[in-house]
Structure formats: C-alpha cells, structure tokens
Structure 1
Amino acid sequence: MKWVFKVLAISLVLQGFQCSDSNNTSGLITSTQLETKKQEIQNYINSSSCYENLGCGYIAFGSKPCGGPWSYLVFSNSVNLDKLKEMVLNYNEMNRLYNIQTNAMSDCMAITPPTEVKCVNGVCTVIK
C-alpha cells in the first residue's frame, strides 16, 4: 500500500515539472500574452502624436479582480478610436479571464479617471 502512495506522490511532483505548451492550446491566458497585448496597445497609442487642435482622450484599461479598471490610458484623438476601443476591450476581457483562472486578488480601490488631459509638447498628459 505504501508504494501506491509513493507512485502517486512522484506522479504529482513530475506533473509540476511538465514543459509548458508554447502554443497554449489549453485556452488559458498567460501573463506573457497579457504583456504582449498591453505592449501592442501602448505601441499603437505611441504611434500617434497629439496636436492642440485634436486634443486627447482616455480609456479605462485592465480589469481588477473586484471590478473596475487597473488604470486609464491617455491617447491622442488622432488615433482610430474604434480600433483602440476594440484592442482595449479584448485586453480587458483577457485580463478578466486571467484573474478568474489565477484566483487573482487586488486592493479593490476604485481608480478614478483623469479629470483633464492635454497635449503637452506632442504628448498626451494627465493634468488632473
């Protein structure tokens, strides 16, 4: 009977050392995938300069485990807003699913949106 427990214990330990599936066919969201999506969004935002006459906007970004965004991204109104919204919506949903999969926790503090964003030297900036 002892050997059954030994075999079971060894198999459980070995499962912990399995190689990860780089193709992620399991459907689980990884932190690497989230970081990659986040960087794509940042690169998209950074590809557009702001101009005083176009102004800037902001959008809720991420999904805290208790609800609400992790932060707000500021962007130039020269970006394709529909494309940005779609990218952020996809990221937020991935973040929400990741939180569920990992039983993530957060401080549950509400993050307030900026009250004013302006174009300062070609960069959208939070003023207040």
Structure 2
Amino acid sequence: MKWFFKILVLSLMLQSFQCTDTNDSSDTITAAQLETKKQEIQNYINSFSCSDSVGCGYIAFGSKPCGGPWSYLVFSNSIDLAKLQKMVKNYNEMNKLYNSQAGIFSDCMIVMPPKEVKCINGVCTAIN
C-alpha cells in the first residue's frame, strides 16, 4: 500500500510539471492574415490624396525579428492619424507574433526612415 501511495503522489507531481502548449491554434497568425491587414492599411492610406498645403507624413511599418520596422509607409496628413496608428500598431503586433510563431529571421539591418516625404501629383512619395 505504501508503494501505491508513493506512485500516486509521484504521478500527480509529474503531471503538475508537464509542459503545456500555450499557443492556442486560434492565436496562430498566418502570412495570409498579415497580407490582408497590410492591404487594408494600404487601401486606407490610398483613399486620401495630398496637396502641398496638406503635406505628407510617414510611419514605421512591420516588426523585424531583430527589432525595428521592415519599412515605412507614407501617407497624406489629411488622414485620421489616430486610426492609422491603431491599424499599424495592430499589424506590427501581429507581425511580431507571426515572426515568433513561424521562426522568421531577418538581416537585422536598420531600415532608415525617409529623408523627406513630398506630395507629387497628389500622391505622397518618399524621397531618399
């Protein structure tokens, strides 16, 4: 009976130390989901035109595994900046999670922001 009790206690202890998979399959980010979000953001940006009086801006976009953005998006200052920032923040968080889940790696080079952004023919353009 003592052996039975010891085995029971030992098995309960071992179960409490089991590794559990904390990644719920519903939390898994796919490349297709990222592409869809990216296209939504790009479509939103493209729905605004610029002019010399309105001007343009840029925002860091994506999340490299080594840190920093993959690129910068340029946009018209007539955009709802708070909405764009929220959309980009959500995308960047998804991208960071995707990198971790998929084992993505990068060159770790720093992507510099545009030196200047200008409105050219109604379209915000990065000048490097």
Provide the residue aligned with 2:51 in structure 1: 51
Structure 1 consecutive aligned stretches of length 4 or more whose deviation exceeds 2 Å: none
Measured in 1, the distance between the counterparts of 2:127 and 2:107 equals 25
The Cα shift of 1:29 comes to 0.4
| Runs of 5+ consecutive residues of structure 1 not aligned to the other structure | 1-23
Provide the residue aligned with 1:126 in structure 2: 126
Q: Secondary structure at the match of 2:26?
A: coil
Query: Once the two structures are superposed, what CA deviation does each residue of 1:64-91 show, in whole Å capped at 9, x if it has no partner?
Result: 0100000000000010000000000000
Amino acid at match of 2:53: N
The Cα shift of 1:115 comes to 1.2
Q: Is the radius of gyration larger for structure 1 or structure 2?
A: 2
The Cα shift of 1:26 comes to 2.4
Provide the residue aligned with 2:97 in structure 1: 97
Measured in 1, the distance between the counterparts of 2:113 and 2:61 equals 10
Provide the residue aligned with 1:87 in structure 2: 87
Measured in 2, the distance between the counterparts of 1:60 and 1:127 equals 15
Q: Secondary structure at the match of 1:97?
A: helix
Provide the residue aligned with 1:72 in structure 2: 72
The CA RMSD measured in Å over matched residues stands at 1.2
Measured in 2, the distance between the counterparts of 1:78 and 1:86 equals 16
Measured in 2, the distance between the counterparts of 1:63 and 1:46 equals 22
Measured in 2, the distance between the counterparts of 1:111 and 1:25 equals 32
Measured in 2, the distance between the counterparts of 1:63 and 1:86 equals 15
Q: Secondary structure at the match of 2:125?
A: strand
Q: How many residues align?
A: 105
Q: Secondary structure at the match of 1:78?
A: coil
Measured in 1, the distance between the counterparts of 2:25 and 2:92 equals 21
Measured in 1, the distance between the counterparts of 2:33 and 2:67 equals 21
| Runs of 5+ consecutive residues of structure 2 not aligned to the other structure | 1-23
Measured in 2, the distance between the counterparts of 1:54 and 1:26 equals 42
